[in-house]
Amino acid sequence: MYTAPMTEASHPETRVADALPDHWSERVLPGWARPYARLMRLERPIGWWLLLLPCWWGLALAQIAAGGGVPNPWYAVLFLVGAIIMRGAGCTLNDIADRNFDGRVERTRLRPIPAGEVTVRQALGFLILLCLLGLVILLQFNWFTVATGAASLIIVAVYPFMKRITDWPQAVLGLAFNWGALVGWEAIHGSLSLAPVLLYAGGVAWTLAYDTIYAHQDKEDDALIGLKSTALKFGDTSIWWLAAFFALALGLIDAAVWLAGGNIIAHVGVAAAAMQAAWQLARFQPDNGARCLDLFRSNRIFGLIITLGFLLDSLLT
């Protein structure tokens, strides 16, 4: 099995371009484990944050609809662990599917499979392990939630292939990444209603915004090797599409708040998130990869603002 060089963490050229510098996984884990941590993207935590936050939205909004109070802290922790594990599983599957493309894209050429650190067979075994761990997490919830959570695997499985056949792979990513809005609600209520469905739809629109920003980093390489994205489709008109996606996301999320019986604090939270989205639009530069990456990462703040608004509304009103 591959053993990473001891000096890897100190040499940025051996890391994937958008990884966080000097991440704990590169310093603490033994050499043999680091490629698997990279398969999970542990050194890029923004991904699991973006998967987790809709779960917390659904959980907090469900608590508002149930009359307020403290959302179940155990469920919040399970969602955190589950998001890290299942984001890792999704990334591993994506790397297996994209192994013939990643080596031809500057930003992804040092991922573990194209870099020769992990074989496809090893990655498949690791994927199975992560899915089993995710199942253990999911089984802690009611059976309606278990069934809904399991259904998301269909979308997760098809997403890595969407960039080959549609200009809208970001929409499919949104369907997968925001499934937790439904699961978070169901964990409390054991059923669905229009409020969580609107919250889910708002999350999908949000993903269309932030992942279009992210896709602008790869648009030249994607065009050369025949992959598709909303960044390529929208081109110079991207800013107007981003504004529309953010506006749609905020409108749907606020509508979900109304239907769930939310009060002024939750609406103020949505308004504050709108200000953060406006800040992103004002700074967006489609041909500046570093700026696009920074704006993409800032969506953790957008999501946390929504979460805080929901939580305070549940606790204080």
- Give CA–CA dist 158/221, Å, rounded: 22
* The pLDDT of residue 5: 35
Please say whether the dihedral angle defined by the alpha carbons of residues 259, 261, 263 and 265, taken in this order, is positive or negative: negative
- Give CA–CA dist 133/187, Å, rounded: 19
* Element counts in the chain: helices (H) and strands (E): 16, 0
What is the rounded average pLDDT of the residues 74-81? 98
Q: What is the CA radius of gyration of the chain?
A: 19
pLDDT category, 101, cuts 50, 70, 90?
confident
- Give CA–CA dist 231/167, Å, rounded: 9
Percent of the residues in the chain that have a pLDDT greater than 70, as a whole number: 93
What is the rounded average pLDDT of the residues 34-63? 95
Residue-averaged pLDDT of the chain:
91
Does the global pTM surpass 0.95? no
pLDDT digits (tens, 9 = 90+) for 108-131: 788 899 988 999 999 999 999 999
pLDDT for residue 1 is more than 50 = no
CA distances from 62 to 85, 88, 196, 307 (A): 24, 27, 8, 12
pLDDT for residue 281 is more than 50 = yes
DSSP 143: H
pLDDT digits (tens, 9 = 90+) for 151-201: 999 999 999 899 999 999 999 999 999 999 999 999 999 999 999 999 999
pLDDT for residue 19 is more than 70 = no
